[in-house]
Amino acid sequence: MNSKIIINDYITVSSEQNKISIYIQEERFQEFEYSFINKILKKSKSQLEKTNLQGNYVENKFDKDSNNAYFNNFVNILKFWIRNNYDTEILPYAISFPLLRKLVEVGDSSAKKVFIDEILKNLWDGDPLVVKYLFNENYDDYVVLDNYRRQIHTPKIKEIKLTIFICVINILIYILLIEIYHIGDFLFFDLQKILNNFEVWRIFTAIFIHLERFSLFINTLFLCCVGSYFEANNILSKPVYLIVYIISGVMGNIVYMLISFQLHASILSAGASGAIFGLVGAFIIILLIKRKHNWLIIYIAIFIFFYVYTIDPRINYISHLFGFITGMISYLFCLFIYQRRIASNRNNMSYF
């Protein structure tokens, strides 16, 4: 049986004698024996069932023991792989990653969008065998932080779900606890109650509640603007976003508490501004990594304006400043941990 099927503008699959060949722009890229194709299909079927991605994929053709069935199913797997944005969990990693890399080299724009993300996804929390493969084949070179995505990625709605979630939580807490039930005072940052009654939870809860509608509006607006860009361009995991956000807000309140304690002042405060300033600081680190100095100047100018604008005895500007500093430090620490983890994995792979 000799057959040839064009998958898309880049990939063609051909059956030649007892082998199946993959051509990339008419250049033979990979070829497989039919016995190996059978293993690929079984592996792909198992992965599809595991991830619940099978959907409209051709049913029950894995059981047909013939070269023609193998060929047709392999073609369908490749089509399914492409439709699902080159998800490297669909095909065996030893096939999907080389094929994806080749598509990037020949200019497939869709492959370029996901190539780095697929490598990062597997390096960060992937199967040890896949991690070993990626290091052995030097795929980690593609994600060296200094060379990762020089462009600033404009956020899309589906990419900023965490930012939207935090905004919604802040709004709901304000509506329920301030506007409706009027019980938000047990969440505010109240220095005297923290020191005298040991209500230390206020240092944390104060970053999720606001005293008035205007501060809620301003913080939600800035969180949408800054948080969305940080989330869309953050090369680390989603939990790092929460780490930066929460630690920045909490640390800003702690420093504010220490300074206020020295001044013997009675302080009542609330709002997410310290946490938001932490995201600003973290995003500035991303801009430095990407060497986007024009963007950096803009964000520093916005920060200085906002900081100067809020220098008022009634505004918690100390929390803003130290939230900003904490955001930079905490994100740098997360980058350091990430690089150490990658280096440790690379060293561990040498023992295999």
Helix/strand/coil for 16: strand
pLDDT tens for the 352 residues of the chain, in order = 567 888 888 898 888 777 888 889 888 888 877 767 766 766 665 555 444 444 444 444 444 557 777 788 888 888 888 888 888 888 888 888 999 999 988 988 888 888 888 887 787 666 788 888 888 888 877 775 445 556 787 888 888 999 999 999 999 999 999 999 888 888 988 888 888 888 999 999 999 999 889 889 989 998 998 999 999 888 778 889 999 999 999 999 999 888 877 765 666 778 898 999 999 999 999 888 877 878 878 877 777 766 665 556 567 788 888 999 999 999 999 988 877 776 665 555 443 3
The CA distance from 39 to 325, in Å, is 53
Tokens of 276: 């938001």
CB 206 within 8 A of CB 273: no
The CA distance from 19 to 40, in Å, is 14
Predicted local distance difference test score (pLDDT) of residue 52: 46
Helix/strand/coil for 31: strand
pTM of the model: 0.62
Predicted local distance difference test score (pLDDT) of residue 153: 78
Candidates 257, 219, 260, 244; CA nearest to 325 is: 244
Predicted local distance difference test score (pLDDT) of residue 29: 87
Q: What structural domains and CATH numbers belong to the chain?
A: 3-143 (no CATH), 157-341 (1.20.1540.10)
Residues 6 or more apart in contact with residue 57 via CB below 8 angstroms: 48, 76, 80
Predicted local distance difference test score (pLDDT) of residue 314: 65
Instruction: Go through the chain and tell me how many residues it has.
Output: 352
CB 160 within 8 A of CB 227: yes
Helix/strand/coil for 158: helix
Tokens of 179: 């506007």
Pairing of strands 19-24, 27-33: antiparallel
CB 162 within 8 A of CB 231: yes
Angle of helix 293-309 versus helix 317-349 axis, rounded to 10: 150
